[in-house]
Structure 1
Amino acid sequence: MNNEFVPAYRNEPNVNSQSNTETFVAGKIEIENSKWASVTFYIRTEKRMKKIYPNRYRV
């Protein structure tokens, strides 16, 4: 990040080199109530995402 060396997940300390743990998740969230009617939330995150998408907010 910021042109720094970042080790691959399996090369980090205390991580099994044979690990198959996912480091990415995406989802679609819909809330069923009148306040949020017709509003859909999409989330996508991964470990150290290279691109930050404009007009999105990190929580």
Structure 2
Amino acid sequence: MCQHTPKCPTAASPDREAAQVVTAHPVQGWSLLCNALVVFDDLGELLPDGQAVAPHRPFATTA
């Protein structure tokens, strides 16, 4: 699916969230990455095989 150079990490890679955004829907709270990963504003994920990943990334903090 990825047409970028260098290629984005696959959905199975540990750094899968580093893939580029294909489409963003901020009002709905989710974005589709070029590796078919859906990331949600609550920091959860949906893998291409339908498996849900619970929120696991730390929230950004402001100083």
* TM score, norm. by length of structure 2: 0.25
Task: Specify the structure having the higher radius of gyration (Cα).
Answer: 1
Q: Could you state the TM-score of these two structures normalised by the residue count of structure 1?
A: 0.26
Greater fraction of residues in helix? 1
